[in-house]
A and B are shown apart, each in its own frame.
Chain A
Amino acid sequence: ELKVEQNPLFLSMQEGKNYTIYCNYSTTSDRLYWYRQDPGKSLESLFVLLSNGAVKQEGRLMASLDTKARLSTLHITAAVHDLSATYFCAVEQGGSEKLVFGKGTKLTVNP
């Protein structure tokens, strides 16, 4: 059974600082996704990572995937308040097209 663990679950950081969110998963997978959710809103797709060593960047966010370690990271560079949200990683279960989600990381960026 695929399990997905994110840490930390809560992250409070100052504007301008850097930090990394980690996503570990328990079984082999070909696809890993990062989503953003603002309070009371839907989930927005941020990144899709499909292969070992994949790196995607959008603005101050960069996601990477190490399939051998079963680990993905979401790195935040020089955080700004607008990045405050909950971030989820989701892993596809063995080519099934079903996703297993982590519990999410609630990020708060303080001035």
Chain B
Amino acid sequence: DADVTQTPRNRITKTGKRIMLECSQTKGHDRMYWYRQDPGLGLRLIYYSFDVKDINKGEISDGYSVSRQAQAKFSLSLESAIPNQTALYFCATSDFRGRARPQHFGDGTRLSIL
């Protein structure tokens, strides 16, 4: 089983719809992150959370919201989806206790907004 699980893996929806992407992890990490990836742009940080009560905006948070329901769960919502939010979305986790603390990524959610 994957350590960082994202659902759904693929989603096609229409402009104006509310969408929720979910991320759960079994790694026991406190830190969780949401990124979007667009062709040629690398990954950009949307929101991040250092624990259940600590949620912060990233580089491109407009149009998105998040919820940290538990240490292991971090959800990303698009309140009213628009076509330019079509992208590949990744959730990641990290362990602040390690000096190296690499981020570990889920398999991604491919979101298409028509």
A97 within 8 A of B: yes
Partner of A43, one of B45, B50, B90, B99: B90
Give the number of chain B interface residues (Cβ < 8 Å): 25
Residues 51-105 (chain B) with a chain A CB within 8 angstroms? 58, 90, 92, 94, 96, 99-105
Q: Are A43 and B105 in contact (CB under 8 A)?
A: yes
A31-B98 Cα distance, complex, nearest whole Å: 12
B104 and A31 form a contact (CB under 8 A): no
Residues of B within 8 A of A31 (CB): 100-101
| Chain A residue with the shortest CB-CB distance to B106 | A42
Flag if A50 contacts B99 (CB, 8 Å).
yes
Let me know if A75 is at the binding interface, CB within 8 A: no
Choice from A42, A44, A102 contacting B42 with Cβ under 8 Å: A102
Q: Does A25 contact B (CB under 8 A)?
A: no
- By beta carbon, the residue of chain A nearest B98 is A48
A103-B108 in contact given A31-B101, A48-B102, A97-B101 (Cβ < 8 Å): no
In contact, A101 and B106 (Cβ under 8 angstroms): no
B99–A97 CB distance below 8 A:
no
Name the CB-closest residue of A to B96: A97
Q: Does A41 contact B (CB under 8 A)?
A: yes
Q: What does the 1/0 interface line of A50-89 toward B look like (CB < 8 Å)? A: 1000000000000000000000000000000000000010
Given A88-B43, A101-B42, A104-B42, the answer on whether A42 and B101 have CB atoms closer than 8 Å is no
- Docked-complex contact A97 and B43, CB < 8 angstroms: no
Tell me the complex Cα distance, A103–B38, Å. 10
Asked whether, in the complex, the Cβ of A42 is within 8 Å of the Cβ of B90, the reply is yes
Residues of B within 8 A of A102 (CB): 42
Decide yes or no whether A45 CB sits under 8 A from chain B: yes
* 16 contacting pairs across A/B (C-beta < 8 A): A31-B101, A41-B108, A43-B92, A45-B104, A50-B100, A88-B43, A90-B43, A97-B31, A97-B101, A99-B45, A99-B103, A100-B45, A101-B42, A101-B44, A103-B41, A103-B42
